[in-house]
């Protein structure tokens, strides 16, 4: 996706209005002052009313003046190009204002004394979508100087001919450094250079000290949106100093930006820099006589108002010339009919950064104050050499004292009235604020959501994976429970109770009865019916088995209650018979539905309520030897899935939660008995 069309290039009305809003202005015409290229890799850049910067290229033998745009990456021209070849593909390049559509051709290209063979370009033959006759504006095309990833033509062409012009130049000249420099002059300033300059792989001789300036690393966008990659860097913390000499505090919309820093794009195609609304209001809202034109969405101020503005990058201050803080090139008038100047640093709309990848666009009004070096680094994808990360270097060109004198000479006819009360800034509490339209509010909401789409996407993905994992886990648990239920029914180690007196019950041996009073049933002995302990009917026991797998919660809830009560009863009254009766009474109060829900729980209840478990002999040698002496303890230990007659600590806390609960209850009971 292309970034920006040089705004003034397609508008006859206010060339700097990035929102394509029109109002009548009259600008001074200036003849094209392009000069011939010399033998070095330097080309002259003409200035068309401080709103367009133009250089010459030669394409298919035809010399064509084109706009210089560091905010896009494609080349397009109008008219016809001899010695060119139609590759049979078409494309439409959408810009901030208008679009350029046509067929893709290839032809040999010369630019800054470099030659590129078979360079792909867009030939625009229908210019009806343009709001002006661009030929009358002094240019017939546009050359994009941005990163190669932003090229739309590159995505359409299957070979290297579709790469951007700078990418082709650097690829074919591997010994050259992968950077360009840009110097933009200021029209109407007596001390500004006569003409601008663009160089490739070499600096201008008078500005070689740019190599000593801080290398500002380019902040890269997400890989999925690398077509929106621009020349963008971070400001310093509190890196914008307003007209009152104080930092302008603005929050970044870029989620990854550090606190107090903003992401700024350097774009030679934007006449008026686009900055956060709060920053624009802080610059112009305190000026006496300032107005915000809602129709045009621009600030206007009296032309005799001197405003100072400074940016900080890499610890270096970059003052902005007062002639660049407000522009007199548009001959605008106020609501009262007085001539006014346009504030150049205008509120940015969310439409320019819907994905929240940058906060402001520093266009021509900023770049006239710096000598700019753009190093492509590893933006170059077709070179075998690792050129490191891309970076930007800025050499400040504006001297504050000299700029003040220039302003007095140009705007105040040589009489310095900047200290008058009429030019004093209003108090901060009287600052005006530019209104936000309904459409802009909607765009802001869209930007807020879209700028955070990677985080939203990751969050949704994690939620879906958790849901899938939870469903899978539940299915596995249910499946394992069904398998365990089937296996458990086959492995119940106890005989079923009967209703006949003297028949085997669930308890094998009871204390306080001698062995002669027991009935022999093979290897199993049962306590007598007249012992006072309940005998459960076999029919009820079998009926409970059918619904035994409804839940395993009761075993976790009931066993601790039973064991706790037993322990308290036993400790409070050492009399075995009394303790047994109390514990058995508690057991009998447990709801029968709890006793019948889980066959394992019921079995444990039977054992824990038996005399052999509730009323063990005293004294006891040790918990483990006690287990060996208690009839039925083997089955209980088997139920808890621990070895008999010893308890292994390594296996005690592993297994199904219900088994862990049973083991825990067993240990508590042993401790209480001891």
- Better-predicted residue by pLDDT, 541 or 462: 462
**pLDDT tens for each residue of 240-253:** 999 999 999 999 98
Upstream peptide bond of 474 is cis (omega within 30 degrees of 0): no
pLDDT for residue 211 is more than 70: yes
User: 499 and 439 share a domain?
Assistant: no
> pLDDT-derived band of residue 591, with 50, 70 and 90 as boundaries?
very low
- Rounded average pLDDT over 368-397: 83
Q: How many CB atoms lie within 10 A of CB 236?
A: 17
HEC states along 124-191? ECCCCCCCCCHHHHCCCEEEECCCHHHCHHHHHCCCHHHCCHHHHHHHHCCCCCCEEEEECCCCCCCC
User: For 100-114, 400-414, 598-612, 616-630, which range has the lowest pLDDT when averaged over its residues?
Assistant: 616-630
So what's the pLDDT on residue 157?
92
Domain range spanning residue 248?
Answer: 7-451
User: 108 and 234 share a domain?
Assistant: yes
pLDDT for residue 600 is more than 50: no
pTM for the full model? 0.64
Number of domains in the chain: 2
The reply to whether 1 falls in a domain is no
So what's the pLDDT on residue 201?
93
The reply to whether 420 falls in a domain is yes
So what's the pLDDT on residue 174?
82
> pLDDT-derived band of residue 665, with 50, 70 and 90 as boundaries?
low
User: 444 and 550 share a domain?
Assistant: no
> Which of these three, 451, 472, 505, is where a domain ends?
451
The reply to whether 49 falls in a domain is yes
pLDDT for residue 546 is more than 90: no
User: 368 and 420 share a domain?
Assistant: yes
The reply to whether 175 falls in a domain is yes
pLDDT for residue 264 is more than 90: yes
User: 499 and 437 share a domain?
Assistant: no
User: 531 and 606 share a domain?
Assistant: yes
pLDDT for residue 14 is more than 60: no
Across the chain, what does the average pLDDT equal?
73
Phi, psi of 318, deg, nearest 5: -125, 95
Angle at 121 between CA 168 and CA 14, to 5 degrees: 110
> Which of these three, 435, 451, 467, is where a domain ends?
451
- Rounded average pLDDT over 376-399: 80
> pLDDT-derived band of residue 13, with 50, 70 and 90 as boundaries?
very low
User: 446 and 565 share a domain?
Assistant: no
The reply to whether 462 falls in a domain is no
Measured CA to CA in angstroms, residue 104 lies from 56, 88, 107 at distances of 20, 7, 10
Radius of gyration of the CA atoms of the chain, in A: 43
> pLDDT-derived band of residue 453, with 50, 70 and 90 as boundaries?
low
> pLDDT-derived band of residue 488, with 50, 70 and 90 as boundaries?
low
So what's the pLDDT on residue 564?
59
The reply to whether 307 falls in a domain is yes
User: 439 and 545 share a domain?
Assistant: no
User: 552 and 633 share a domain?
Assistant: yes
- Better-predicted residue by pLDDT, 4 or 208: 208
The reply to whether 482 falls in a domain is no
Token output for 38: 């010399």
Alpha carbon distance 111, 165 (integer Å): 9
CATH number for 430: 2.40.70.10
Alpha carbon distance 159, 161 (integer Å): 6
DSSP 463: H
**pLDDT tens for each residue of 314-332:** 999 999 999 999 999 988 8
User: For 121-135, 427-441, 518-532, which range has the lowest pLDDT when averaged over its residues?
Assistant: 518-532
**pLDDT tens for each residue of 22-32:** 223 333 333 33
So what's the pLDDT on residue 225?
53
So what's the pLDDT on residue 31?
37
So what's the pLDDT on residue 437?
67
- Better-predicted residue by pLDDT, 562 or 144: 144
> Which of these three, 421, 451, 481, is where a domain ends?
451
Q: Is 78 exposed, middle or buried (0-12, 13-18, 19+ CB in 10 A)?
A: buried
User: 102 and 178 share a domain?
Assistant: yes
The reply to whether 458 falls in a domain is no
User: 23 and 152 share a domain?
Assistant: yes
So what's the pLDDT on residue 451?
61
Phi, psi of 77, deg, nearest 5: -140, 160
Q: How many CB atoms lie within 10 A of CB 502?
A: 16
User: 248 and 304 share a domain?
Assistant: yes
So what's the pLDDT on residue 540?
40
> pLDDT-derived band of residue 664, with 50, 70 and 90 as boundaries?
low
pLDDT for residue 313 is more than 60: yes
């Amino acid at each position: 996706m292309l970034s920006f069309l040089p705004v003034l290039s397609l508008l006859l009305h206010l060339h700097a209005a990035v929102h394509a809003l029109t109002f009548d202005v009259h600008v001074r015409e200036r003849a094209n002052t392009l000069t011939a290229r010399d033998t070095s890799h330097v080309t002259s850049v003409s200035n068309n009313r401080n709103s367009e910067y133009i250089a010459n290229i030669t394409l298919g033998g035809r010399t064509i003046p084109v706009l210089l745009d560091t905010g896009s990456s494609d080349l397009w021209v109008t008219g016809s190009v001899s010695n060119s070849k139609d590759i049979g593909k078409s494309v439409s390049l959408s810009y901030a204002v208008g679009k350029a559509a046509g067929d893709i051709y290839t032809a040999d290209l010369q630019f800054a004394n470099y030659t590129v063979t078979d360079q792909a370009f867009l030939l625009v033959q229908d210019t009806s979508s343009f709001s002006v006759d661009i030929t009358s504006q002094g240019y017939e095309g546009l050359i994009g100087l941005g990163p190669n990833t932003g090229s739309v033509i590159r995505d359409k062409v299957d070979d290297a001919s579709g790469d951007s012009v700078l990418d082709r130049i650097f690829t074919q000249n591997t010994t050259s450094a992968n950077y360009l420099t840009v110097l933009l002059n200021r029209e109407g300033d007596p001390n500004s250079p006569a003409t601008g300059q663009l160089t490739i792989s070499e600096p201008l001789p008078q500005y070689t000290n740019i190599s000593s300036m801080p290398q500002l690393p380019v902040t890269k966008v997400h890989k999925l949106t690398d077509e929106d990659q621009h020349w963008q860097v971070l400001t310093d913390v509190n890196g914008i100093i307003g007209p009152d000499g104080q930092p302008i505090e603005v929050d970044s919309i870029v989620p990854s930006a550090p606190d107090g820093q903003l992401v700024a794009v350097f774009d030679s195609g934007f006449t008026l820099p686009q900055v956060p609304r709060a920053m624009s209001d802080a610059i112009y809202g305190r000026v006496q006589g300032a107005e915000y034109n809602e129709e045009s969405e621009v600030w206007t101020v009296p032309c005799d108002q001197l405003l100072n503005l400074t940016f900080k990058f890499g610890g270096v201050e970059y003052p902005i010339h007062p002639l660049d803080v407000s522009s007199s090139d548009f001959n605008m008038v106020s609501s009262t009919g007085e001539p006014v100047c346009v504030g150049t640093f205008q509120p940015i709309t969310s439409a320019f950064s819907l994905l929240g990848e940058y906060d402001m666009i520093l266009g021509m009004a900023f770049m006239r104050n710096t000598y700019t070096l753009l190093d492509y680094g590893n933006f170059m994808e077709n070179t075998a050499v690792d050129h490191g990360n891309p970076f930007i270097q800025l050499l400040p060109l504006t001297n504050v004292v000299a700029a003040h004198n220039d302003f007095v000479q140009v705007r105040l006819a040589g009489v310095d009235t900047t200290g008058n009360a009429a030019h004093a800034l209003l108090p901060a509490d009287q600052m005006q604020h530019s209104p936000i339209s309904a459409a802009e509010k909607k765009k802001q909401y869209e930007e807020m959501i879209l700028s955070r789409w990677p985080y939203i996407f990751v969050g949704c993905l994690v939620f879906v994976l958790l849901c899938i994992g939870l469903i899978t886990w539940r299915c596995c648990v249910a499946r394992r429970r069904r398998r365990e239920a089937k296996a458990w029914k086959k492995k119940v180690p106890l005989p079923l109770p009967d209703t006949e007196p003297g028949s085997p019950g669930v308890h094998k041996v009871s204390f306080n009865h001698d062995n002669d009073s027991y009935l022999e049933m093979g290897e199993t002995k049962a306590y007598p019916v007249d012992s006072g302990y309940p005998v459960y009917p076999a029919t009820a026991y079998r009926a409970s088995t059918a619904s035994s797998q409804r839940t395993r919660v009761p075993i976790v809830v009931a066993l601790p209650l039973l064991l706790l009560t037993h322990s308290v009863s036993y400790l409070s009254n050492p009399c075995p018979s009394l303790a047994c009766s109390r514990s058995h009474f508690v057991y009998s109060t447990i709801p029968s539905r709890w006793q019948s829900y889980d066959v394992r729980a019921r079995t444990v209840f039977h054992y824990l309520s038996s005399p052999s478990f509730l009323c063990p002999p005293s004294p006891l040698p040790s918990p483990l030897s006690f287990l060996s002496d208690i009839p039925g303890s083997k089955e209980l230990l088997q139920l808890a899935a621990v070895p008999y007659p010893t308890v292994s600590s390594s296996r005690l806390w592993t297994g199904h939660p219900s088994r862990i609960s049973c083991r825990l209850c067993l240990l508590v009971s042993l401790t209480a008995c001891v």
